[in-house]
Amino acid sequence: MLFPRNYALRNSALLVRYISTQQTRNTMIFQHLYQPERTPDGCPQRRPDEKQEFQKLEIVEEESTRNTSPTLKVILMCTIEGLGEKYDVVEVTRAKARLHLIPPRKAIYASPFDIEYYGKMRKSNEEEVPTIRVPLELVKTARALMEKVIPLHMSMDIPWTINKTVIKAPLMKLGLEMSEECIYLPKETVSGPDLSLEARLYRFYVVVDRQYIVPVLGRILHGSKGKQSHNLNPKTKKMPTDEDLKSFGLRREHPVYLNEPFGEEFDVIKHMEDQNFETSKKI
């Protein structure tokens, strides 16, 4: 396609009218039909309208004439659950990229330059601080365990001691089925009935695949069975604050993912006690 001199100026009204009536996004790539000679160093650049040949352009590519993929490759600028880690190149729908990822700078277009640039940056970061990727299914399991306080209903009439069976029962009621081998309790034995333990927070751990240690909170609730079952302490859906945890000698903890599955001699309780959770990453 050839364009005579001042084509854009003489047809500007037509172009504006065309653009305003068309609601599609198109890209047209042009190149000079006659490539101007390179301007020698130190000389002023030649005017683009010096010769009529300089005004002649031809279409190299037009987006509307090629099959456009419904997806788009982007580079993630942060870790997004269910999508990928930082600096991953992922393929998403064009609508998701242009509406939800690119405007808030959660991702950028995966141009060849950026793929190479952020690929080198990612490799450099991994050499300095090795990144451990936790499988998404394990993250979801940990969140399900930590988003609520597990009610530990204990009897006011029968002596009891908190053990793995006592912990397993309320977890099953919440739809979290697991073997007792996955549950790890602190060394301190808690027995009752004892009203001084009422509403006390109790920390235990659930280990997934012998590699992902999840801290879980339970709350001791005494109950008595007569003609009618009732608890002495009403249920609460509020998660305990840091002050609440501190009052029971506890602290806020986050899941820990080990590089490889541990053996029988591994002490889960001691390992979690030695962790510095002030600098740990939250899920």
pLDDT, one tens digit per residue, over 40-59 is: 888 888 887 888 888 888 88
Q: Which residues pair with 223 in a beta bridge?
A: 155, 231
* Chain Cα centroid distance, residue 223: 40
The mean pLDDT value of the chain amounts to 82
Quote the CA–CA distance of 213 and 203 in Å, as a whole number: 13
Segments of the chain assigned E as strands: 28-32, 57-62, 71-76, 89-93, 107-109, 150-155, 160-161, 183-184, 191-192, 201-208, 212-225, 229-231, 256-257
Domains of the chain: 7-65 (no CATH), 71-128 (3.40.5.10), 136-273 (no CATH)
When computed from its CA atoms, the radius of gyration of the chain, rounded to whole angstroms, is: 32
Query: Is residue 124 very low, low, confident or very high in pLDDT (cuts 50, 70, 90)?
Result: confident
| Single pTM value for the model | 0.60
How far apart (Å, rounded) are the C-alpha atoms in residues 206 and 151? Answer: 16
